Structure 1
């Protein structure tokens, strides 16, 4: 008799997280009441699963970070420039669906927990940068950790500022990352033209 109850609890919790992701994606300041309504639950029922709004936000961030980390783990292009472009493109595709939520996850209020959750992604960026510098594909005037951090900050800024609804937003995001990595805007555009799948919806 207890199994259906546990299943209902799991489904309700998942529903709350889905509702929170959608609500925060629409409005980063979405209230507990808004999230509860989207989930089809009362405020009291929601508090049966989460202590407060911050607990919900933390779990939304963790789920988003897991998706980002999975994307990074799948990047295997031999050319570090293509690897960075593909990583930026795929992360943008994911973040564009919930841009406000992604921006919320990357703002200063949640930066520490987001940083921990995205450690695998950060290690992947660092590995691509080191390989690219050794191969002469990326700029070498900056140490690898510094360049990797600049790339991360560029991605953070783009996610928070660029209009995801713009037809050119994804290309802008990829070119911005590549320009920090040492490519001219012309070189970045040429790379995208050589790999049209990087701009495929």
Structure 2
């Protein structure tokens, strides 16, 4: 191994650290100001604009990477939902996604706005497939409403979750329960059934496992 090979490793590590610093800075800056500029993000990361542009072409490319990393977290959460009861599975999914998104609500809202929703939808393909699977299973077991085809109902559930993430105040003590109830209502449960489900499974609220 040559000296050149050894010296290249620290440079690669530095480049990876700088790239991650930019992404972390972007999350912080966007949480403070959804219109935060590249200059603000670079300053927060402790880098020059020129150094930032060495890693990202523009502001949109930073947001796209934030979307991709956030989508991967959501996909991983969906893959962990294994409960057979479709009602409980949807409630778990909604609760865990809300818990994850609430920490970065502004970034999540940007990812879900009309300007970026196409990229977000593509990145969330595994999550969307899992929701369809849960809905279809629930309809077959007569646990969820059957007057709407599974793919359409799954999309409506997705829109309800999107609305909760982007519109509900994450600081509200009832925000997570409201997000779960919104999803369950679209899925066909009455408000009394949703309240009963949450009462039977109090671990859902605050659940981020």
Matched residues in 2 for 1:180 and 1:136: separation? 15
Instruction: Note the aligned Cα RMSD (angstroms).
Output: 0.8
Matched residues in 2 for 1:24 and 1:82: separation? 33
* Structure 2, gaps ≥5 residues long: 1-6
Q: How does 1:27-106 map to 2 (within 5 A)?
A: 27-106=33-112
Q: How many residues align?
A: 201
Following superposition, the deviation at residue 111 of structure 1 comes to: 1.0
TM-score in terms of structure 2 length: 0.94
Match for 1:175 among 170, 181, 185?
A: 181
Following superposition, the deviation at residue 30 of structure 1 comes to: 1.1
1:17 aligned onto 2:60 = no
Matched residues in 1 for 2:168 and 2:65: separation? 25
Moved over 3 A (4+): none
TM-score in terms of structure 1 length: 0.98
Following superposition, the deviation at residue 24 of structure 1 comes to: 1.4
Q: Tell me the residue number matched to 1:135.
A: 141
Deviations 1:107-154 (A, max 9, x none): 110011111000000000000000000000000010001100000011
Q: How does 1:117-156 map to 2 (within 5 A)?
A: 117-156=123-162
Q: Tell me the residue number matched to 2:203.
A: 197
Contact 2:99 2:206 in 1 (8 A): no
* Structure 1, gaps ≥5 residues long: none
Following superposition, the deviation at residue 26 of structure 1 comes to: 2.4
